[in-house]
Amino acid sequence: MHVMIIGAAGMIGRKLAERIAETGCIGGQIVCELTLVDVVEPDVAGGFDGMRKVLAADLSKPGVAARLVANRPDVIVHLAAVVSGEAEADLEKGYRINLDGTRALLEAIRSIEKYVPRVIYASSLAVFGAPFPSKIPDDYHLTPLTSYGTQKAIGELMLNDYSRRGLLDGVGIRFPTICIRPGVPNKAASGFFSGILREPLNGKEAVLPVDETVRHWFASPRSAVGYIEHAATMDTASLGAQRNMTMPGVSATVAEQIDALRLTAGDAAVALIRRAPDPDITSIVAGWPQDFDTARALKMGFRAEKSFREIIEVYLEDEMGTPAPSDGAPPQAPQHLRDAQDVTP
């Protein structure tokens, strides 16, 4: 199987590539060729026994999509995007990357005779906009209130249409907000959800720009990779014409996030969170959904964490090398926090 990851320099793309390199498989099927693409050349750690190609390319530029699919990859993971805050600030860039790039990819696939690859499209909860019910069902209509959400909603509709026509075999994944994201903050409006946990766990101050009553839908980077692995080889016949699904996750308030941080790392970590209300971010977040009924995705075999404590444990294990205890006790706080105050592991 030949897998192409577009957006491989991003956090999810990098982790997916490293997972494939580690296991040699995706969704239980052997990967013999791996192509990694981004606007900057992806730097992915880990070896890979098969053929590996790394490319710097902008999908939205003329002719690029056609060159990328010329070798007919079996699975195309389309993660490339301008994230929410940046897409709202730069209208032209958001539509060029998020919409024009996606259409260019689908059209390039359509132009190749007898070529029907599995296309995994990274969508977003931003396709939903207020007013909506407290728990959004699978069949709820798309009413985005941001440019990013609009661009992703159009991409979802195109994925449905090209799949209906038999031009590709699409699976659209509406990712929860991925938390805790490793590394440095990106330009996503949702970045603070990770920051208020990641920074304190690393002994740094974090800024909280919204009220603690804000509720949102979350999953870990490990779950994000798992969604794609499952989507790569699942039986899509039962999806029918509706190819896009909201992924399972955890609904939690900011206060519940902070409580999970306190349980894990104590008051010393929580004390590093500085409240600094930001009206712009508050306005964007106010239009975001809070909870979902993901029965369809669960029935299809997608899985995620069941509590925010589990999400923090994934970060401690995957990014800080601190595995959670096997006896179910709270994971051990990082050493610098235990040094700062008495925190019982």
The one catalytic residue among 95, 148, 162, 227: 148
Q: Summarize pLDDT for 244-273 with one digit per residue, the tens.
A: 999 999 999 999 999 999 999 999 999 999
CA 315 remoteness from chain centre: 15
Looking at the predicted structure, is the pLDDT value of residue 189 above 70? yes
- Torsion sign, CA atoms 158, 160, 166, 167: positive
The residue that leads in pLDDT, 190 or 245, is 245
Looking at the predicted structure, is the pLDDT value of residue 335 above 70? no
CB 18 within 8 A of CB 3: no
Q: Are strands 29-30 and 206-208 parallel, antiparallel or unpaired?
A: unpaired
As a whole number, mean pLDDT of residues 316-344 equals: 66
Strands (DSSP E) along 201-249, which ranges? 206-208, 215-219, 244-246
As a whole number, mean pLDDT of residues 197-211 equals: 96
Q: Summarize pLDDT for 156-168 with one digit per residue, the tens.
A: 999 999 999 999 9
Phi-psi category of residue 169: left, alpha or beta, with phi > 0 → left and psi -120 to 50 → alpha: beta
| Average predicted confidence (pLDDT) for the chain | 92
Q: How confident is the model at residue 345 (pLDDT cuts 50, 70, 90)?
A: very low
Q: Summarize pLDDT for 113-132 with one digit per residue, the tens.
A: 999 999 999 999 999 988 88
Ranked by mean pLDDT, which of 140-149, 187-196, 219-228 comes out on top? Answer: 219-228
CB 145 within 8 A of CB 287: yes
What letter would DSSP give residue 320?
S
Can you list the domains of the chain with their CATH numbers? 2-176+219-246 (3.40.50.720), 191-215+250-288+307-340 (3.90.25.10)
As a whole number, mean pLDDT of residues 232-237 equals: 97
Q: Return the pLDDT at 315.
A: 96
Q: Return the pLDDT at 329.
A: 59
As a whole number, mean pLDDT of residues 300-308 equals: 97
pTM of the shown model: 0.92
As a whole number, mean pLDDT of residues 142-153 equals: 94
Q: Summarize pLDDT for 5-33 with one digit per residue, the tens.
A: 999 999 999 999 999 999 999 999 999 99
The residue that leads in pLDDT, 152 or 86, is 152
Q: How confident is the model at residue 49 (pLDDT cuts 50, 70, 90)?
A: confident
In angstroms, the CA 306 to CA 302 distance is 13
Q: Which residues of 165-203 are buried (b: 16+ CB within 10 A; e: fewer)?
A: eebbbbbbbbbbbbbbbeeeeeebbbbbbbbbbbbbbbb
Q: 148 catalytic, yes or no?
A: yes
In angstroms, the CA 123 to CA 147 distance is 13
Looking at the predicted structure, is the pLDDT value of residue 344 above 50? no
